[in-house]
Amino acid sequence: MADRSAPSSNSAFDRFAARALPAFERALAEALPPPVPRAPALSRAIQDAVLSPGKRLRPLVALAAGEIVRAPLPAATAVAIAVEYLHAASLALDDLPSMDDARRRRGRPAIHVAHGVATAELAALALVARAFEVAAQAPETPPRVRARVVGELARAVGAEGSCAGQAADLAADPARLTLEDLEAIHAGKTGALFVAAVRGGALAGGAGDETLEALTLFARNLGLAFQITDDMLDLAGNAETMGKDTRRDAHRANFATLFGPESSRKLVDELLEAAVSALSPLGRKAAVLADLPRVVRDRQK
């Protein structure tokens, strides 16, 4: 079996990732807040949350969307950084004892395990704030677009986005959950930030409404498929491969527990097909994004 941690070089997305990631990782680190003089633990927690090895799927999606409309690289990179900071913040929050109470993430101790609960909470808030600062100050981007991207990112993580999804997930009664409920929960928890990533990347290049709509539909389907594969991998429970506590959701209702692996796999295939179809108006330019459904289908972690 091939080592999936090394990108295979023969697919459009893997080639794109290999080309875009080194500079993005540097920019991601450079945009972190300066060290906090009287609270070094806060700085370490912020760094841990962002710089621990991640798949960077959301920022890569933002960068790939930017390329479709020839966005200036610094403009799309600012959006991608903001998206990844928001994602890192949401992981730190979701892992808290009050939420999913997870002790490992990305192969390392969760942020609150390494740095304490209060520091994890503050690191998450600091990263959210930094995300909006970076988006508001994106270089080579008209102010009108910067303000719009801030608004879209804010909705994606707020009470109409990931906060709503996480709160609904915590409040859900597994015995009474419907497919519609689950889709709404995951549209918030995962879908909203994927959508903001593609839209933000495309807005950085001045995309028009038609392009934005195609990308939105793509991201909504891709995000949901990604979440279902997450549930399936969690239930299969290879903590070592996943780098985080698995089977934490086994007592909670999710796609995998509710519908079983076979129906879940079928739903994933349908969603990924819909994601690819959504891109058809964009033609060849969307080849990198169009390769992502394969990445999600094949993911092992």
Helical segments of the chain, H only: 12-30, 40-51, 57-68, 73-94, 111-115, 117-136, 143-157, 162-171, 179-186, 192-203, 209-236, 239-242, 255-278, 287-290, 292-298
Element (H, E) at 209: helix 209-236
Provide the minimum distance between the beta carbon of 263 and a second copy in the complex, in angstroms, as a whole number.
22
Does the protein bind a second copy through residue 121 (CB under 8 A)?
yes
**Exactly one of 21, 168, 236, 274 binds a second copy (CB under 8 A); which one?**
168
Report the C-alpha gap between 93 and 95 in whole angstroms.
5
Residue 274 in the binding site for a second copy (CB under 8 A): no
Measured between alpha carbons, how far is 92 from 100 in angstroms, rounded to an integer? 10
Compute the distance between CA of residue 80 and CA of residue 24 in angstroms, rounded to an integer: 8
Distance of CA 101 to the CA centre of its chain: 20
Q: Which is nearer to a second copy, 14 or 181 (CB)?
A: 181
Which of the stretches 64-72, 167-175, 223-231, 258-266 binds a second copy when contact is defined by CB under 8 A?
167-175
- CB nearer to a second copy: give 23 or 117: 117
* Strand partners for 104: 109
Sketch the per residue contact string, 135 through 154, with a second copy: x for CB under 8 A, - otherwise.
Answer: xxx----xxx-xxx-xx-xx
Give me the residue label for tokens 């707020």: 158
Q: Is 29 in the site for a second copy (CB under 8 A)?
A: no
From CA 260, how far away is CA 252, in angstroms rounded?
Answer: 13
Q: Tokens standing for 81? A: 């950084």
Say whether residue 124 binds a second copy (CB under 8 A): yes
Any contact of residue 163 with a second copy (CB under 8 A)? yes
111 lines the binding site for a second copy (CB under 8 A): no
By CB under 8 A, is residue 93 in contact with a second copy?
yes
Question: How many Å apart are CA 65 and CA 215, to the nearest integer?
Answer: 8
How far is it, in rounded angstroms, from Cα 60 to Cα 25? 11
The least distance separating a second copy from the CB of residue 281, rounded to whole angstroms, comes to 28
Is residue 178 within the footprint of a second copy (CB under 8 A)?
no
Among candidate residues 225, 198, 169, the one with its CA nearest the CA of residue 58:
198
Total interface residues for a second copy by CB under 8 A:
60
Using CB under 8 A as the binding rule, whether residue 37 contacts a second copy is answered as yes
The binding site for a second copy (CB under 8 A) comprises 33-34, 36-39, 41-43, 46, 89, 93, 96, 98-99, 116-119, 121-126, 128-130, 132-133, 135-137, 142-144, 146-148, 150-151, 153-155, 157-161, 163-164, 166-168, 170-172, 181, 184-185
